[in-house]
Structures are given as structure tokens and as C-alpha cells.
């Protein structure tokens, strides 16, 4: 009965993602809390939802060979959920998948729908899954094999070679690692590692950041170490933005797009709780998230304000900040592994719109930087239109700014060995280090005289 509840809840969640374009990670967290799932049921539920969303294109390809006409949306989603288990989860026997799926169809529909579900799944079980190898169009074939939209693959193939694109797509379909950032104001990484092990969390050192730990088993957010503010949950590539900023104690820093506060609090740590960080975000309710993080971590050098960063010149004096971080709103195509619904919900028009907003934010905040100061522009996407092209456009219009060639000196050696950071920018791809895809550029403002 418990597994039936998990599958039924997974179906409800998948329908909300499909119909309401709701965020999968938020829905999953809410459903786990509401249904009081234990650790095993939580793991299964999460895998069912993420996996079915990740493999949507491929699952529809498998199904379309067995459907004579298009069923209702909830039936299509139920069949996707079932075929995902049959194709990708070896530990669940097909008979269990068939039985539970037919029972859900009976409860939500009627005998006819239950018969359809039973017939389709038994036909797949008997005949096997269709092979996409016969697809002649190479982009379409890659889209089915890796379950990504064709329009997006077309863009990536114009930016990266085919082997790299395939590796990106395959990485996007893996389970994301959980990494945490040590709060160095309160503890050390080695001490935190030992503290977490004493709380039955399996943990190891991170791959990139010197403050990072990777969680291999356990719910780290429920530990006393988390409650006591000894760490933050943050992807390792995201941690690099604060290092790129090149901060020194006592600095006055502006974080233009700060919520939920991961990079803001990291900067506060690197300042050793000195100086001041003004953290802006467009939404009032997100300001509370920043303040809650700062309080839990024991950081007193953060001032959070609800303000569209494009309006910042009306609120702050010119040349008043030593450093500025623009972690810009973006398409998020670097975090598809964590939010697989992103690849189905975005369009080329979204990218164009976001690039325009990103440019507007840079234009607005640039005058607030002191001469000799540094501005870091970062995103969690791999789209050049939102990354290199935004920076290049900005530099063409602002001769007082140039790329900072010292960026590589502040990045981990492992990253330096794999990337060309000499030009003051770096693009991390999802398959390279097991981290999120992330872009960082550092722009230096020329000193007067």
C-alpha cells in the first residue's frame, strides 16, 4: 500500500509539473513533507518524479509505438511513469509496475482506461521497447536518445561539438550530488566532516572548492550541524563566484541578484564577518530567505533589501562599492540535473529576453563600482547568448572595463588545469566535474588617472 501511495503521489506531482509548469524540486519537497514519507519512500518518490521528467522525450517515443490514439493527459503521464520504471529501474519487477498502474487507472478513471493501460504495458513487456537507432535525422535521434528538446540541442550543437553536447545531455540525466559549504566563521572543513560523521552522515571532501564537502548518504539538512549554522547547502561550481570576486576584509560589496543568499553568505564568510554586503532581490519574500540564512550562519555583515537591481542607481551613490556581484537571472540550463523540468519549460524567446535583462542589470550597476574595483558576472547556464555574448556586448559599450586576467589565480588548481581562465572568464559544463554548469566572468574597472 505504501508503494501504491508513492506512485499515486508521483503521478499527481508529475501532472502539476505538466499542467501548471510548477517547479519539480519544490513540489517534491512539499509532497514528502505532506505525506510523511520515510527515507526509502522519499528516495523512490524522488527518483520516480525526476526520472520521468528527465526521460520524457524517450518515454513518449517508446509509448507512441503502442498507442493508436492520444489518451487523456493523466493517462499519458501514468504510462510514462510506468514505462520509466520498466525501462530504468531494475529493482522493480514489471509485474509490480503493471499491477500498481492498472489499480491507479481504475481509481482515477474507469475500466476502459484500466484496460488501455494494461494492454499498452503488456504489449511493451511482450514486444520490447522501440530502438531510436533507426531515426535518420541526427538531431532528432539525439533528442530521443538523451531526452532533450530538439530546438535546444540545435542551439548547443552550434556552440559545442557533438561529443560535448552528448556528454552534457547524459550528465543532465544523472542524479545530482549534494554538496555543502563549510561556514568558516564557525568551523573548519575537517571538523565539520567529523561532526557530520558523528551524526551518521556519509561525507567526503569536495572536488573543486576548498570549503566543500560531498554528502554520499544521509539527510544533511536535518542535522544539528545544519541547525547550528556550520554549513550551507550549495553546489561547488556556484561557490567559485565568491572566490572570483577577490574580496578583502572591510570591503563594501553589492550583491545585485542575491536570493536565496548562498553566494551572499559565502562572501560574508570570506570577509570574516567584516565590511558590509548589500544584498538586493526583486521579490520581498526572498529577502526573508537571505536574512534567515545570515541569522542561522551567524553573519552580521549583510543588509538585505527588496529592490530591482536595475533601479539601484536611484538608491546608491556612484562609485560606492569595492566589488559587485551580478549572479544574473538566467535560463538555468546548467542545473537541468537538479531541475529537469527546465528543459521542457523554456524557449529560444526566453533566452533572448533573459539576455536583454542581464545586459540591463550590468548597465545599471556598473556606475556603482569604484575605479579599480571588480565586477563578477555569473550565471548557472551554458548558453553563450547569456554568457560570453552578454559580457562582450557590455565591454563594447564600456571602455573603462576590461577582463581580469588574474581570475585563474583565485580558482582551484584542478579547474585551472582544465580551463582557459586567462581571459577572465570560465565556463564549467555539467559533465566535467559532477557539478552544475556555471559561467563566471570578472570585469575590472580602470582606475582614474
Enumerate the active-site residues.
380
HSE-CB of 273 using CA atoms within 13 angstroms: 10
User: b or e along 14-48 (b: 16 or more beta carbons within 10 Å of the residue's beta carbon)?
Assistant: bbbbbeeebebbebbeebbeeeebeeebbebbbbb
**DSSP three-state, residue 321:** strand
| Dist CA 52 CA 130 (whole Å) | 17
Of residues 393, 332, 331, 336, the one with CA closest to residue 366: 393
Q: Edge-to-edge strands of the sheet including 178-182? A: 202-205, 212-217, 178-182, 231-233
| Dist CA 375 CA 325 (whole Å) | 6
Torsion angle (degrees, nearest 10) of CA 27, 171, 328, 330: -70
How far is residue 333 CA from its own chain's centroid?
8
Amino acid at each position: 500500500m505504501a508503494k501504491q501511495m508513492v506512485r499515486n503521489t508521483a503521478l499527481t506531482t508529475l501532472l502539476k509539473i505538466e499542467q501548471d509548469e510548477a517547479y519539480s524540486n519544490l513540489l517534491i519537497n512539499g509532497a514528502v513533507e505532506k505525506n510523511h514519507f520515510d527515507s526509502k519512500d522519499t528516495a523512490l518518490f524522488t527518483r520516480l518524479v525526476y526520472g520521468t521528467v528527465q526521460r520524457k522525450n524517450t518515454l513518449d517515443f517508446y509509448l507512441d509505438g503502442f498507442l493508436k490514439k492520444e489518451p487523456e493527459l493523466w493517462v499519458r503521464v501514468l504510462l510514462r511513469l510506468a514505462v520509466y520504471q520498466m525501462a530504468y529501474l531494475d529493482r522493480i519487477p514489471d509485474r509490480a509496475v503493471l499491477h500498481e498502474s492498472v489499480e491507479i487507472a481504475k481509481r482515477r478513471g474507469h475500466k476502459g482506461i484500466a484496460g488501455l493501460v494494461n494492454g499498452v504495458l503488456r504489449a511493451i513487456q511482450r514486444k520490447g521497447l522501440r530502438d531510436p537507432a533507426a531515426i535518420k535525422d541526427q538531431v532528432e535521434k539525439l533528442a530521443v536518445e538523451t531526452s532533450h528538446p530538439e530546438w535546444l540541442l540545435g542551439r548547443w550543437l552550434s556552440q559545442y561539438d557533438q561529443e560535448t553536447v552528448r556528454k552534457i545531455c547524459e550528465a543532465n540525466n544523472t542524479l545530482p550530488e549534494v554538496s555543502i559549504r563549510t561556514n568558516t566563521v564557525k568551523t573548519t572543513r575537517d571538523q565539520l566532516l567529523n561532526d557530520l560523521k558523528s551524526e551518521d552522515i556519509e561525507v567526503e571532501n569536495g572536488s573543486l572548492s576548498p570549503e566543500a564537502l560531498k554528502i554520499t548518504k544521509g539527510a544533511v539538512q536535518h542535522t544539528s550541524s545544519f541547525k547550528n549554522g556550520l554549513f550551507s547547502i550549495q553546489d561547488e561550481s556556484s561557490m567559485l563566484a565568491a572566490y572570483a570576486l577577490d574580496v578583502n576584509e572591510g570591503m563594501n560589496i553589492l550583491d545585485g541578484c542575491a536570493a536565496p543568499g548562498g553566494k551572499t553568505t559565502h562572501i560574508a564568510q570570506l570577509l570574516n564577518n567584516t565590511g558590509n554586503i548589500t544584498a538586493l532581490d526583486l521579490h520581498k519574500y526572498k529577502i526573508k530567505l537571505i536574512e534567515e540564512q545570515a541569522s542561522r550562519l551567524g553573519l552580521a555583515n549583510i543588509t538585505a533589501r527588496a529592490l530591482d537591481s536595475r533601479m539601484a542607481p536611484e538608491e546608491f551613490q556612484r562609485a560606492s562599492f569595492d566589488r559587485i556581484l551580478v549572479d544574473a537571472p538566467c535560463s538555468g540550463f546548467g542545473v537541468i540535473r537538479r531541475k529537469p523540468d527546465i528543459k521542457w519549460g523554456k524557449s529560444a524567446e526566453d533566452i533572448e529576453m533573459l539576455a536583454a535583462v542581464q545586459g540591463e542589470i550590468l548597465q545599471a550597476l556598473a556606475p556603482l563600482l569604484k575605479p579599480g574595483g571588480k565586477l563578477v558576472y555569473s550565471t548557472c547556464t551554458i548558453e553563450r547568448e547569456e554568457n560570453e555574448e552578454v559580457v562582450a556586448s557590455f565591454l563594447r559599450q564600456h571602455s573603462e572595463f576590461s577582463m581580469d586576467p588574474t581570475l585563474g589565480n583565485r580558482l582551484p588548481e584542478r579547474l585551472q588545469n582544465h580551463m582557459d581562465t586567462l581571459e577572465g572568464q570560465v565556463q564549467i559544463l555539467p559533465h566535467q566535474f559532477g557539478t552544475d554548469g556555471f559561467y563566471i566572468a570578472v570585469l575590472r574597472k580602470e582606475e582614474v588617472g
